[in-house]
Each structure stands twice: as C-alpha cells, then as structure tokens.
Amino acid sequence: ALERTLSIIKPDAVSKNVIGEIYARFEKNGLSVVAAKMMQLSQEQAEGFYAEHKERPFFNDLVSFMTSGPVMVQALEGDNAIAKNRELMGATDPQKADAGTIRADYATSVDANAVHGSDAPESASREIAFFFEDSELCPRG
Ligand code: CMP
C-alpha cells in the first residue's frame, strides 16, 4: 500500500555531510520526499517527539544528542514506505545493522545512529503531524 513515514537524518549524519547520500538511498529504493525541513531542535521539541521514551534510561542522552546540532526532517512516500525505510536504515544498534544499510555505513553508536524512521502507521501519522502541516505535504503519487 502507498504509505508515508517520518524520517530524520540525525546530527551525526548531518555533520558527516551525507544528507545527499541518504536521500539517494531513499530515491533509489522507491521512496520520494514529500516534505522536508532542516532544523535545530529545541529541548522541548526533542522531548516532545520522543515522549514515548520518557521513562527509558537513555532518554536524557537521546534528547541531548538530538539537540546537539541540526537535523534534516522529511516525510517519505512510497509503497510500504514504513517497512522499506526501516529496511534501508538497518538495526537501531549499528553494530547489529546488516551490511549496506544506512546505519551500518554511517552510524557509530546506538545514540549517534544516523537516522530515525517511524515504526508503525500510527507513529508515522503522529510523527509527520509533529513536524509538518497537512498543507506542507506534497503528494507524489
Ligand atoms: P530512534 O529510532 O530515533 O528512536 C529512539 C532512539 O533512542 C533510537 O533511535 C536510538 O538512537 C536511541 N537509543 C539509545 N539507547 C537505546 C536503547 N537502548 N534502545 C533503543 N533505542 C536507544
């Protein structure tokens, strides 16, 4: 089915200057950017985005990492976009990520793991709405 998913290129990957390399992987694998913005997340934004992890021991480190530099936020559209993006990203822990995935190639740790991607349709809707107005989404079909 045609789906949308929320993707974030995290501060480590932005700082490695690989936004374009990561976009190329999306585009070569049937995902199209339908909205995008580069931004420096505030602490409030990072805490709000990751609210579901508030009680996890890694929450403070996660928020501090995600506010350590600019991120590139995009909504991706394509057939099975949510699973496709997760396949392209690889496992959360880059040490466990399959060869050839974004995290295997660009990530260095569980925190500095290059990219975020929504894990389910409900989180995709919520996460896209967190960053984008409906009017900012440009359907590609
Ligand atoms: P992300 O997909 O952005 O969602 C939550 C993030 O928390 C995750 O990627 C990791 O970067 C980070 N994180 C840090 N420690 C852990 C952990 N032990 N388990 C899961 N996620 C973690």
8 Å CB contact between 35 and 4? no
Residues designated catalytic: 116
The average confidence (pLDDT) of the chain is: 98
Model confidence pTM above 0.95: yes
Which residues sit with their C-beta closer than 6 Å to ligand 1?
53, 58, 62, 92, 110-111, 113, 116
Confidence label for 5 from pLDDT (cuts 50, 70 and 90): very high
Burial class of residue 87 (count of CB atoms within 10 Å of its CB; 0-12, 13-18, 19+) = middle
Count of Cβ atoms closer than 10 Å to residue 51 Cβ: 11
For the annotated binding site for ATP, the residues are 10, 58, 86, 92, 103, 113
